[in-house]
Amino acid sequence: MTTFATTPLTRDNEQYWPLPTDEPTLLDLLTRVFTDHWRSINFGPIIEGAAWEVGAPSAPTRITTHDGYATVDFGAWHFHLCIGEHTASGPELGRIRRCSRAEMYRSLDTEGHPISWGIRLFNGRDEQMMTVLLPNPFLTDTQQLRDTPDFSRLTAWDDLRAHFLGVDADPLDRAGKGFRHG
């Protein structure tokens, strides 16, 4: 497993860790997220003007790859993400469609406390392909505010950090005061 930067980069009210974008790493990431943590994640594109926060109905029945595309299949429906070399549409479209940037991130409140944790993938035009919202200690699985934080909900974040970044849990993640939607 190739790991990347262990120290976060910053932009606006956010810290992020770039991840490798080779097909084996991205397939491992998708498999871990959707197989191990499907019950408590939401996912979809989150762009200005639209946020798709879809919950998985079950663990995937299968995750496959073909011509650079990973297919995460839930039985009744599925989605595709281009994570490897795609040749069927030619080199230019293949470059545009392929994931060229991946990152783990945590959003911070104005005091620098984490309020949201996730993963994002971007294509060759730097357009968002997907965001995975990881379990949040301030929210329930149905996205309702909790009266008391449940920091055990950071297990997915901690597991993914350990696997992909090679770092232990960060005490900062447990210093948050609550979720504020911005």
Q: How do residues 116-142 score in pLDDT, each as one tens digit?
A: 999 999 999 999 999 999 999 999 988
Q: Considering its fold, how many domains does the chain have in total?
A: 1
pLDDT higher than 60, residue 98? yes
Per residue in 50-96, pLDDT tens? 999 999 999 999 999 999 999 999 999 999 999 999 999 999 999 99
Give the Cα separation of 38 and 114 in Å (integer). 22
Query: Stretch 165-169: mean pLDDT, rounded?
Result: 95
- What CATH code is carried by the domain that includes residue 149? 3.40.1570.10
Indicate the residue type of 175: A
- Look at residue 178 and tell me if it is in a domain: no
The pTM score is: 0.93
- Look at residue 173 and tell me if it is in a domain: no
The residue range of the domain holding 61 is 9-168
Q: DSSP for 3-67?
A: ---SSPEEETTEEEEEE--SHHHHHHHHHHHHHHSGGG-EEE-EETTEE--EEPSSS-SEEEEET
